[in-house]
Amino acid sequence: VQLVESGGDLVQFGGSLRLSCVISGTIGGIIDMDVMGWYRQALGKQRELVATMTISNGDTNLRDSVKGRFTISRDNTKNTLYLQMNNLRPEDTAVYYCNAKSGNSLYKGEYWGQGTPVTVSS
């Protein structure tokens, strides 16, 4: 199972970005995963959860500091998870990682992408 993120960039305060995470290496693609999400790690800080989605029913969970600004979504036909980030703040600066968890007997485990950097200038 491979996760490849893209979309990170340098953006000004108040700007927007959309991150993408493409999953490959499974028969069913994104639907072979139970939960997918986005985490971030700022320099010198621990990795933290940003948003998750239960693939089967679309239920989402976002950290309080991004509610109302970030949206997590997926496109099953493209095997892609998205993170739409609006009204970005300097404190959103971090490397953003895609995460997937599966209980499927073929792909049981947890997977990470390589990360995509987001920098928000003040």
The string over 12-37, giving b where at least 16 C-beta atoms fall within 10 Å of a residue's C-beta and e elsewhere, is eeeeebebbbbbeebeebbebbebbb
Hey, what amino acid is at 49? L
Strands 109-112 and 35-41: unpaired
Strands 35-41 and 70-75: unpaired
> How many Cα atoms occupy the beta-carbon half-sphere of 8 within 13 Å?
19
Please tell me the predicted confidence (pLDDT) of residue 114: 97
Please tell me the predicted confidence (pLDDT) of residue 89: 98
pLDDT tens over the chain, length 122 residues: 999 999 999 999 999 999 999 999 999 999 999 999 999 999 999 999 999 999 999 999 999 999 999 999 999 999 999 999 999 999 999 999 999 999 988 999 999 999 999 999 99
Please tell me the predicted confidence (pLDDT) of residue 71: 98
Please tell me the predicted confidence (pLDDT) of residue 51: 98
Instruction: Give start and end residues of each alpha helix (H) in 47-101.
Output: none
